[in-house]
């Protein structure tokens, strides 16, 4: 069973309007609400590809209850750790010309809630994989990642990391099964630039040497790379009209895992990841994932 863990869940509020002007009433066309959080998104897309996933996460207040209820309506298993403060709402405004992203820090997480998370992981009996995705909320320090990964090592749960925290470099000592940085995170965390194939190979060599076993490196509209330590692939990205990039990386990771963890071909996993990420980038939230087959026809995968 694949489990996902989101420590900083959210509701994404996508607002569509005409171009925004200051000092006047700006009326909206419509608003969409999406249960969100990076691990939540991964589980939703895995479920779309018929790969069951169980959601672990921190939720609070009326907004947290909304997320849990909506996920359970979609027949997803959710094990919440609860706090009293409401789960955050992130706001994305699409005014026809620009996209504005208002991302909140989230509720303060107390020690009791942190222990709830550890307790739930310690009880898992069917977990093969744990996907840890997203940012840290207030009250949780970076060493909490290491506490979770130590527990996963003891329970022989393979960890997949999609985090942007600088501690990612140190966490490679735990030899995670897969990491999914983007090019900006590789630059900020590892001091490495990736603008061509040779730079990608050099970056992979350094991250593998630090302990990463497999690396999925996303470049947005420029495509993505994958390295397993022995071989390296590049996958192009299809052309789309960008609506919101907010959930695209999560969707790409889930699509990749749906094939790769099942033993499918790396080329197929990469192509599906690229098409799925592009589909989501052309939608508000996760969208309907309806254009994937058409987008696949635009994609090329090459082994370097």
Catalytic residue IDs: 250
Cβ-contact 227, 208 below 8 angstroms: yes
- Sheet-wide strand order for 28-36: 28-36, 10-17, 88-94, 99-102
Asked if 277 and 223 touch (Cβ cutoff 8 Å), the reply is no
Instruction: Count other Cβ atoms within 10 Å, centred on residue 65.
Output: 15
Looking at the chain, the number of H-run helices and the number of E-run strands are: 10, 14
Q: Find the radius of gyration of the CA atoms of the chain.
A: 19
Exposed/middle/buried for 253, CB within 10 Å: 0-12, 13-18, 19+?
A: buried
The DSSP secondary-structure symbol of 285 reads T
Handedness of CA 211, 216, 218, 224 (dihedral sign): positive
Burial tier of 70 (Cβ tally within 10 Å: 0-12, 13-18, 19+): middle
């Amino acid at each position: 069973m694949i489990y996902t863990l989101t420590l900083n869940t959210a509701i994404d509020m996508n607002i569509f309007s005409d171009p925004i002007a200051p000092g006047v009433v700006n009326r909206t066309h419509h608003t969409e609400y999406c249960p969100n959080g990076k691990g939540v998104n991964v589980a939703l897309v895995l479920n779309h590809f018929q790969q069951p996933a169980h959601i672990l996460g921190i939720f609070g207040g009326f907004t947290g209850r909304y997320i849990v209820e909506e996920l359970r309506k979609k027949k997803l298993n959710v094990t919440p750790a609860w706090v009293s403060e409401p789960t955050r709402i992130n706001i994305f405004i699409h005014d026809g010309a620009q996209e504005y992203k208002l991302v909140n820090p989230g509720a303060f997480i107390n020690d009791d809630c942190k222990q709830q998370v550890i307790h739930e992981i310690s009880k898992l009996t069917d977990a093969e994989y744990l996907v840890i995705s997203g940012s840290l909320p207030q009250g949780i320090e970076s060493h909490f990642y290491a506490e979770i990964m130590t527990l996963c090592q003891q329970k022989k749960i393979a960890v997949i990391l999609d985090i942007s925290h600088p501690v990612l470099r140190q966490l490679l000592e735990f030899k995670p099964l897969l990491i999914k940085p983007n090019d900006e995170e590789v630059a900020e965390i590892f001091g490495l630039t990736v603008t061509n194939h040779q730079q990608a190979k050099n970056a992979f060599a350094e991250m593998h040497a630090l302990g990463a076993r497999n690396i999925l490196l996303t470049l947005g509209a420029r495509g993505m790379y994958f390295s397993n330590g022995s071989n390296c692939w590049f996958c192009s990205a299809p052309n789309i009209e960008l609506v919101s990039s907010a959930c695209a990386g999560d969707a790409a990771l889930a699509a990749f895992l749906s094939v790769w963890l099942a033993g499918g071909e790396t080329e197929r996993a990469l192509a599906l990841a690229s098409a799925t990420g592009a589909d989501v980038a052309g939608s508000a939230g996760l969208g309907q994932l309806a254009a994937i087959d058409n987008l696949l026809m635009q994609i090329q995968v090459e082994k370097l």
